[in-house]
Amino acid sequence: MEPLTWTGALGTILNPVFTFAVLGLILSVAGYVLLNTFENAQTAFGVTANRASGPNSEYVLKFIFPIAAFTILLCAVYLLTGILAPYGTAGIIGELGVRLLPVWIALVVTFYLSITYKRKLGLYGKLFDSPIGMIGFAIVMFWVFTAVFVAMDLIITHDPLGQVSGMKNKVPGTPLRGAEDGDYAHYLLGGDNLARDVFSRVVKGSQVVLVIAPAATLFAFMVGITLGLPAGYFGGKLDTIISFVANLVLAFPVILLFFLLVTPEIRAAGIPIPGTEYIWKVPTIMASILFLFPLVFLVVLFDSRYFTQPAKRNLYVGLTVLIGGYIYLGMAWNADPLGIISIDDGVLIVFVAVVFVNSPTVFRIVRGLVLDIKTRDYVAAGQTRGEGPWYIMLWEILPNARGPLIVDFCLRIGYTTILLGTLGFFGLGLSSESPDWGTTINSGRRLLSVFPHPAIVPALALMSLVLGLNLLADGLREESLKD
């Protein structure tokens, strides 16, 4: 097999055009920004320029959109030829496009459906009125779909842990040595320092990140809400104590906490339970406390609402205790009676550490929101009706605080992704061959100045996901403020 170039045979014709278009785009954008700043400065300092035909920047702006459209069209040509033409014609970019074909289809379907029915979809539909939010949503969904399809064994080209001799640190597009029929013929994005396929590892890594980050954020929100609601609503001593503890955690430098908490030694340490062989290990101690909060939250949520209808209340609370307790036993204690749910110790401590670091910030946000909302008339009305404090907190205040909380949730998933990457970067927690992005960056950085591709690919992946989440949060914030 021939090694693949980035753009393949098509590149000989299209590459010069593409370079030209990109250069034009960069120049016109730079020109626009400079001119615009200059003009703003002129108006700002009272210099009235002689303008017969409006600002010059507007003139430049007219060029930007066609050039940008043309560049995007060229990208689409690369992708389409990759899909239509025989293997290898459109180079690495084309073949990547082919591998990710299910993702493109899913994205197009999602966007088509969402835009068609956007008026019926509430806040989610409103997102499609904001270009920034749409771009963010597209990037996030790209990774979500990638993770889903990788789980269905679609996108991946090689075994993410499999090492092929002779492929160590090979540049992108190197043909697989000793490929047999049925093997994918190239390492599309090259090989890493252990001769594993970089592309497969990155898409596989999206799974690890997209499972741990949102789940950890959700748990942090449960903890923060369960503590923040009473602290803000009741105030007094309770508030002082919880706030002090929260500030204590916040004053702890994150990185030091990780280094102390996420080490193999801590995982082994624990309190021996007298009279038994069992050692209550540190990850289990923390998990058993932190994971209790979602259970408490849900039980109180249903109980405060339905306590006047015992039949319904018993059903909901019973179901929560049964299902939640089952998951709780499996996740925190690794004691699932059926043995289905269990978390590896290394993953558990990472998860717990991330929840622990995030929840004080959520607590502060919730507390601040409650302090603001509890002065509203509808809260006073609820109190006058004789509603209990938990009903007011969970069913009157919480739903009215949802806007800022949803926005913060998106931002926080991004922040959690960064934290997970930081843990991976220092080689803490997850095993060193785990394909998650932080760990991959860590293993790639040693030879960075000679072979940059094994570290750059996961770095760009992580950056794009966080960027997508931030843009999505920005779009959501803008749209929810319009209400």
Partner 1 sequence: MGMFILRRVGVMLLTAFCLTFIVFFMTNLYPNLEKLAKTQGNFRMSDEAVVSYLTREGYMAPLPVKYGRWLGVLPNHVSTDEDGKTTGKCIREGVNTPETAPSYCGVIQGEWGYSSVFKDDAGSIISKRLGLTGWLALLAFAVMIPLALIIGVLAGMREGSRMDRSLSTFSIASSATPEYVSGVIFIAVFASSAFGLKWFKGSATSAMDDFTWANITLPVATIALYGVGYVARMTRASMAEVMTAQYIRTARLKGVSFGNIVVKHALRNALIAPFTVIMLQFPYLLTGVVITETLFNYKGFGWMLVQAASNNDIDLLLGGSVVAVVVVLLTQLISDIGYVFLNPRIRIS
Binding site for partner 1 (CB under 8 A): 33, 36-37, 40, 43-46, 61, 132, 244, 247-248, 251-256, 259-261, 263, 265-266, 268-269, 282, 414, 418, 421-422, 425-426, 438, 441, 444-445, 448-453, 455-456, 459-460, 462-463, 466-467, 469-471, 474
Nearer to partner 1, 120 or 237 (CB): 237
Nearer to partner 1, 152 or 481 (CB): 481
Instruction: Tell me the closest approach of the beta carbon of residue 343 to partner 1, in angstroms.
Output: 21
Q: Tokens 């609820």, residue?
A: 382
Contact call for residues 330 and 336 (beta carbons, < 8 A): yes
Contact call for residues 325 and 387 (beta carbons, < 8 A): no
Nearer to partner 1, 373 or 455 (CB): 455
Instruction: Tell me the closest approach of the beta carbon of residue 57 to partner 1, in angstroms.
Output: 8
Instruction: Tell me the closest approach of the beta carbon of residue 122 to partner 1, in angstroms.
Output: 24
Instruction: Tell me the closest approach of the beta carbon of residue 43 to partner 1, in angstroms.
Output: 6
Question: What's the rounded Cα separation, in Å, for the pair 385 and 375?
Answer: 16
Instruction: Give, for 115, the enclosing helix (H) or strand (E).
Output: helix 101-116
Instruction: Tell me the closest approach of the beta carbon of residue 423 to partner 1, in angstroms.
Output: 11
Contact call for residues 184 and 447 (beta carbons, < 8 A): no
Please give the full DSSP string across 225-285, using - where no structure is assigned: HHHHHHHHHH-HHHHHHHHHHHHHHHHS-HHHHHHHHSSHHHHH-EEEPTTSS-EEEHHHH
* 68 CB-near residues (< 8 Å, 6+ apart): 25
Instruction: Tell me the closest approach of the beta carbon of residue 457 to partner 1, in angstroms.
Output: 10
Contact call for residues 208 and 344 (beta carbons, < 8 A): no
Instruction: Tell me the closest approach of the beta carbon of residue 413 to partner 1, in angstroms.
Output: 12
Instruction: Tell me the closest approach of the beta carbon of residue 395 to partner 1, in angstroms.
Output: 31
3-state secondary structure 282-350: HHHHHHHHHCHHHHHHHHHHHHHHHCCCHHHHHHHHHHHHHHHHHHHHHHHHCCCCCCCCCCCHHHHHH
Nearer to partner 1, 13 or 171 (CB): 171
Nearer to partner 1, 252 or 306 (CB): 252
Question: What's the rounded Cα separation, in Å, for the pair 339 and 336?
Answer: 5
Question: What's the rounded Cα separation, in Å, for the pair 259 and 263?
Answer: 7
Strands 270-272 and 279-281: antiparallel
Nearer to partner 1, 13 or 34 (CB): 34
Nearer to partner 1, 404 or 452 (CB): 452
Query: What's the one-letter identity of residue 231?
Result: A
Nearer to partner 1, 222 or 282 (CB): 282
